[in-house]
Chains A and B, each alone.
Chain A
């Protein structure tokens, strides 16, 4: 028998969601201040309206849903997944008011793309977007990478048992420190140190490229946020091609690769265990698949005769494949070049790396290299087991921060998640075909949305059918939070409607 959630359950969900929306409102102060600095008065007004709405909804929810009870597991998951929907609806308001969006749905598309660090966008006339609005796009993607709940945990919570349940609901399940609030703060510490150093490095490159200090700085900050959060938003429509700089590309791709690492790995390396990076199952799987699939893409590109010399070949192929693998989605080629120049081999290699994705408990999406590594180890173990005597016991070890043994339970859960993802990836290809797109192109774009990557072969445009926009919004949400939280929301809604 399914039990209908109690009134107290609604109250606790409402209260915590309200807290998270207050956090979102506070985030809007960043672009608001930026637009005031750049004297963009109408943009500042847009953000004032949006900030006020967040505060009214956030504090209103906390005042209306008063309770002292802490969250249960299912409620924590519902808060995490549900607050992303509320946050997108509110974060889309300044987008919509900017006049650069065709509709409110388009604004929600870009807001979801930002929060989930995807990087696909349907915003029009990007090159003439205000500084305030461009900063908002990048702040969304930077904070979305860490997680909306992580932000709220860092600044707005004193620490409750329910905090961990929301943290898990947001697709992160590893504690860097014993306390979940301090784990959230450690995640922010890593991100902010990277922000300062990465922005400074890109600022120097921008100055060297001849930009004024003000423009060089704001572009550097945006470039960094797009790369570190594996977000893929770029301040200019030419994306990485705008800079024509090998130095900028190297810094950006190194930041993007680091951004796709597990925060638990960052913390281990940062606290002295530097060898961890060479023996962790995630970095090993990532490196092997990155090098192998870059080689495949290069082979395809050489066959197509696209690039003449090894530097151009390595520069383009590695940048795109690493960008796809880390889930960043920054690019140094035109979107349609995937179809018109790169050819099927390089395009399929790009699809595969987007499917594999980055590390668990990171800003990246996709299946996650941890699962792929465990999946491969499980297959190899089964092959080995079949060759051993029946009485033999085979223990398979893997290393992720500490040594662990592969269990049947872990192998099964990994296989289940991989199956669910692969079915959803295929569905995205068929959905595109239903709307009249070529299957490979639709699959490329759908995989990019579901893996929260952001590389595009030209399917995502403002003219894309609304049905596909809604589907991609759901794919991005699903890809970022993974299935657990979404199932929890589905279960919650079902129990509200059908429970007794």
Chain B
């Protein structure tokens, strides 16, 4: 007798994809590191803008 609920296979696959080991799967590391680099360069970009503003403000106010 069939006792399984609807779409048992799909539910199982979805759960498997979200499990902890998949977070650290090898194919993800390239993306993770690229994301990290993007965030760091974003912060450094803000530093650079601050330096430009400091130069302009000093030139204007002196």
Contacts and interface: CB of A to CB of B under 8 A. Distances in A.
Given A299-B61, A318-B47, A274 B54 contact: no
A179 interface: yes
A270 B31 contact: yes
B47 A250 contact: yes
A261 B39 contact: yes
B23 A314 contact: no
Nearest to A189: B23
Interface in A431-456: none
A497 interface: no
A294 B49 CA distance: 10
Contacts of A322: 46-47
Interface residues of B, number: 30
Interface in B18-43: 18-20, 23-24, 28, 31-36, 38-40, 42-43
A300 to B, nearest CB: 11
A182 B42 contact: no
Contacts of B46: 257, 287, 290-291, 318, 322
A271 B35 contact: yes
Q: Is chain B's interface secondary structure helix, strand, loop, or mixed overall?
A: helix
Interface string B44-56: 1011011101110
Contact of B24 (A178, A189, A299): A189
A181 to B, nearest CB: 9
B58 interface: yes
Contact of B39 (A266, A295, A313): A266
Contact of A283 (B20, B23, B42): B42
Contact of B54 (A193, A254, A258, A298): A298
A185 B23 contact: yes
A303 B60 CA distance: 12
Contacts of B32: 189, 193, 270
B47 A269 contact: no
Interface residues of A, number: 43
A257 B43 contact: yes
Contacts of A197: 36
A389 interface: no
A446 to B, nearest CB: 27
Nearest to A278: B42
A250 B48 CA distance: 10
A388 interface: no
B54 A182 contact: no
A485 to B, nearest CB: 27
A291 B61 contact: no
B42 A277 contact: yes
A145 to B, nearest CB: 16
Give 3 nearest A-B pairs by CB, closest first: A270-B35, A254-B43, A314-B54
22 contacts: A189-B32, A193-B32, A253-B47, A255-B40, A266-B35, A269-B38, A269-B39, A270-B35, A272-B35, A277-B39, A277-B42, A291-B53, A294-B50, A294-B53, A302-B57, A310-B51, A310-B55, A311-B54, A314-B51, A317-B50, A317-B54, A322-B46
Interface of B: 18-20, 23-24, 28, 31-36, 38-40, 42-44, 46-47, 49-51, 53-55, 57-58, 61-62
